[in-house]
Amino acid sequence: MQEIKRNKVWQAKYCPGNSETDGVIKDISKETGLSELCSRLIFNRGFKTAEGAKKFLNNEEAILHDPFLLKDIVPAIERIKKAIEDRETIAIYGDYDVDGVTSVSMLYLYLSSLGGGEIGYYIPSRDGEGYGLSCSAIDKLAARGVSLIITVDTGITAYEEADYARSLGIEMVITDHHECRPELPECCAVINPHRNDCSYPFAELAGVGVVFKLICAYEMMRCRESGEPEINGVRRICNEYADLAAIGTIADVMPIIDENRLIVTIGLKMIESTKRLGLAALIEAANTPAASSGQAPKKRKITSSFIGYGIAPRINAAGRISTATKAVELLLADTVESAREYAKELCDINRQRQIEENRIADQAYRQIEHSFDPENDRVIVIEDDNWQHGIIGIVASRITERYGLPSLLISFDGATRGYPGPDDLGKGSGRSVKGMNLVNALTHCSDQLFKYGGHELAAGFSIERDKIPAFTKKINEYAKEALSDEKLVVCLEADYEVSLKDITMPFAQEIYRLEPFGVANPVPQFILRDVTVQRITSIGNGKHTKLVVTDGDVSLTAIYFGMGEAKFDVLEGERVDLLFTVDINEFMNVKSVQLLVQDCKLSQKMVDVRDAEMNRFESIRAGETFRPDENVIPDREDFAAVYNILRRQAGGDRTILTVRRLLALINQSKCGRNIGYVKLKFIIVILYELKICGVEKLYDDMYEFNMYFNSSKTSIEKSSILRKLRSQCKND
């Protein structure tokens, strides 16, 4: 199969030389006290005046909008108030992701604080029940005497379930933030800022953000009744619940603009000195380097990145491979002992999730390599009987990031093969790319689906096995219209180009003033051109790569997460361009600036050298003569050196290497052989010709080598390629 490889284009938002732009940046720098480098970042985020920049830095441009602008907010709080006063049994029904867990926890804590009614919560099992409301779950709640269900982060498409609940005498208030269809479920109230008839000025709230606005409205109503200023009620909600709102908003990858920015800013400050025992225990448990070394975990700055990569995955893991109620119990923990126990359990579950995620990803990549047709299809659709439902969404994200294409993974775990229809129902999770709204694409294919819902770039669905071929064809037809070749180019945006001398500790610290980062206020990215790679080190059991880069005067460490050294097609001494973010690393109480690499390319000078070598190999392979001093013809010792390295690398029987990586291994082995690029390429094709080992070209200069450990000996003199090569060598 042809390798799926999308071109990556780097684009800098700011380029120096425009006198008007540079003048504005100087004004921002003068008025804010920021460096011009940091002022460029403010300018890139849309603040074109010094006054606007100040408001951004001081969070003055963000306000909390009036929650009563949300459609159905009044009937919602009136129905909840009645349930509290009449001491009804209330069930909070939530989703099993971080947004759902924080929504459930927030509403449970708030309603419980009101001191009326019997408050409970219900989160469905991802494997057993699946996403959203179900009639079977409603039956369980009815048996408990529930008379009011309040959904959080779910329910916007629960038409049949709302009707069924009403038939049992159960009323429902739906709060959600997923995309709406024209029709809405029939119930007491449906609060969703995406409603067509909703005048709320900011639609990008997370599910927990909608709940936050609901309890703000409820508290404002209580203030009105008591004669207290409404702003006091809003302050109380912020001071008590902004931390949970921040976690859910960050985890659900919502834009960190408008009131989301204010909520997250307040929430992150709360988390730094959190009084929630469970959250404190989870932060402590997530600080694994200190824990594993026996040191007391140091207090760290709480950023959106730490929440997104350190806290959210651990909360999410519970709902993915266990039960999300464990995560709720953590956030509701009222003793230090129980908090630490729940935190440890979530960390253990997260490690299991990582193992399962990697297993599924490896299987998915192999499926794609063998079955996907990149020439004709735009959407990757793959399935398996044994993939865990809770993991496939994460793997879909990895696949879309890797190939630059929408991906849909379907698991039939628990389904009954051979019984067409609802008994053989798969659960799918999809991720999309900019340019193709995934919910719209699924709507186009709705006649093939049992159920679906979600956001523009992420969605879930259910499908019967025998409908997958027709569904795959139909969604790819839709994608061909939505995604042109131009749209499939992966565009990576940077703020601007820098030199190594620009990347100082004061600059790295200054960047923190732009926090919190997220969608619409991304972590600043930079481009560094033509630096030399001094050293390459494999870290994290080969999963990541550590570099030292220099311009001759300044040297800095760079970490390339997710790029194993074996696939990193750059050698020590070569010159590269880097796309990166800036980080402050602290080790043994010493702080240093480091680069976090997002992408890496050979510098143009190195590309020219590499292209020349590739072209020279192709020309000689086609029959062109060459001089003896070009050192093209391999001898037996050259073959032996390469073969021994391949055997060591294979470990078992298989290894994947680029030609450049193999060259680096040859140099590191100090075998004493003078093997260059052209000679090594001929060794590879001759190994394949003589069946000394299996050789499969994956793409460009990356090969898979399969070692035949029991193969019979053969002589390189049998190679027709080698004989032809010798005949092409001419003395001029």
pLDDT tens-place string over residues 246-265? 999 999 989 998 999 999 99
pLDDT of residue 672: 85
Give Cβ neighbours of residue 537 (< 8 Å, ≥ 6 apart).
Answer: 545, 546, 547, 565
Q: What is the pTM of this model?
A: 0.79
Same domain assignment for residues 345 and 383: no
Domain of 451, CATH number, reads 3.10.310.30
Distance separating alpha carbons of residues 374 and 255, to the nearest angstrom? 32
Task: Point out which residues pair with 382 in neighbouring strands.
Answer: 409
Report whether pLDDT(36) > 60: yes
Angstrom CA distances, 528 to 25, 427, 551, 564, stand at: 21, 43, 10, 21
> What average pLDDT does this structure show over 181-205?
94
Query: Cβ(511)–Cβ(582) under 8 Å?
Result: yes
Report whether pLDDT(220) > 50: yes
Token pair, residue 102, equals 């924080």
Report whether pLDDT(291) > 60: no
Percent of the chain with pLDDT over 70: 94
pLDDT of residue 61: 63
Report whether pLDDT(292) > 70: no
Distance separating alpha carbons of residues 33 and 58, to the nearest angstrom? 13
> What average pLDDT does this structure show over 417-435?
81
Lowest mean pLDDT among 11-15, 72-76, 288-292: 288-292
> What average pLDDT does this structure show over 603-623?
93
Tally the C-alpha atoms within 13 A of residue 42's C-alpha that lie toward its C-beta.
35
pLDDT of residue 588: 79
Chain centroid, CA 648 distance in Å: 34
Same domain assignment for residues 654 and 525: no
Tens of pLDDT, residue by residue over 458-467, are 999 999 999 9
Prior bond of 75 cis (ω within 30°): no
Tens of pLDDT, residue by residue over 494-547, are 999 999 999 999 999 999 999 999 888 899 999 999 999 999 999 988 889 999
35 sits in which H/E element: none
Same domain assignment for residues 100 and 119: yes
Same domain assignment for residues 290 and 154: no
Same domain assignment for residues 458 and 576: no
Structural domain contains residue 367: no
pLDDT of residue 542: 86
> What average pLDDT does this structure show over 193-218?
96
Same domain assignment for residues 620 and 588: no
Give Cβ neighbours of residue 161 (< 8 Å, ≥ 6 apart).
Answer: 132, 133, 134, 135, 138, 155, 185
Structural domain contains residue 294: yes
Report whether pLDDT(419) > 70: no
> What average pLDDT does this structure show over 88-106?
96
Angstrom CA distances, 171 to 28, 161, 702, stand at: 54, 11, 60
Tens of pLDDT, residue by residue over 624-650, are 999 999 999 999 999 999 999 998 887
The vertex-658 CA angle with 656 and 661, nearest 5°, equals: 105
Token pair, residue 230, equals 């409404």
DSSP alpha helix (H) spans, 465-530: 468-482, 505-511
State which amino acid sits at residue 518: G
Q: 616 lies in which domain range?
A: 607-728
Domain of 239, CATH number, reads 3.90.1640.30
pLDDT of residue 498: 97
The residue assigned the tokens 């989870």 is: 282
Domain of 557, CATH number, reads 2.40.50.460
Same domain assignment for residues 123 and 235: yes
Q: Tell whether the torsion through CA atoms of 155, 161, 163 and 167 is positive or negative.
A: negative
pLDDT of residue 418: 61
Same domain assignment for residues 189 and 267: yes
Structural domain contains residue 133: yes
Same domain assignment for residues 310 and 349: yes
Query: Cβ(551)–Cβ(500) under 8 Å?
Result: yes
Highest mean pLDDT among 647-651, 661-665, 672-676: 672-676
Report whether pLDDT(614) > 90: yes
Distance separating alpha carbons of residues 663 and 660, to the nearest angstrom? 5
Structural domain contains residue 425: yes
Per-residue confidence at 422, pLDDT binned at 50, 70, 90?
low
Same domain assignment for residues 403 and 503: no
pLDDT of residue 565: 73
State which amino acid sits at residue 61: E
pLDDT of residue 294: 43
Tens of pLDDT, residue by residue over 346-366, are 999 999 999 999 999 999 999
Tens of pLDDT, residue by residue over 367-401, are 998 888 888 889 999 999 999 888 999 999 999 98
> Please, what is the average pLDDT of the chain?
90
> What average pLDDT does this structure show over 564-572?
79
State which amino acid sits at residue 344: K
Structural domain contains residue 36: no
- Last-in-domain residue among 355, 386, 414: 355
Instruction: Report the number of distinct structural domains present in the chain.
Output: 5
Per-residue confidence at 293, pLDDT binned at 50, 70, 90?
very low
- Last-in-domain residue among 602, 634, 669: 602
Domain of 685, CATH number, reads 1.10.10
Per-residue confidence at 657, pLDDT binned at 50, 70, 90?
confident
pLDDT of residue 570: 86
Per-residue confidence at 6, pLDDT binned at 50, 70, 90?
low
Same domain assignment for residues 612 and 594: no
Higher pLDDT, 241 or 648: 241
> Within 10 Å of residue 476's Cβ, how many Cβ atoms?
20
Distance separating alpha carbons of residues 445 and 431, to the nearest angstrom? 16
Give Cβ neighbours of residue 376 (< 8 Å, ≥ 6 apart).
Answer: 476
pLDDT of residue 206: 96
Structural domain contains residue 675: yes
Q: Burial letters for 79-106: b for 16+ Cβ neighbours within 10 Å, e otherwise?
A: bbbebbeeebbbbbbbbbbbbbbbbbbb
Query: Cβ(584)–Cβ(549) under 8 Å?
Result: no
Same domain assignment for residues 71 and 211: yes
- Last-in-domain residue among 271, 306, 321: 271
Structural domain contains residue 369: no
Structural domain contains residue 444: yes
> What average pLDDT does this structure show over 226-241?
95
> What average pLDDT does this structure show over 180-204?
94
Tens of pLDDT, residue by residue over 107-139, are 999 999 998 889 999 999 877 677 789 999 999
Strands 654-658 and 702-707: antiparallel
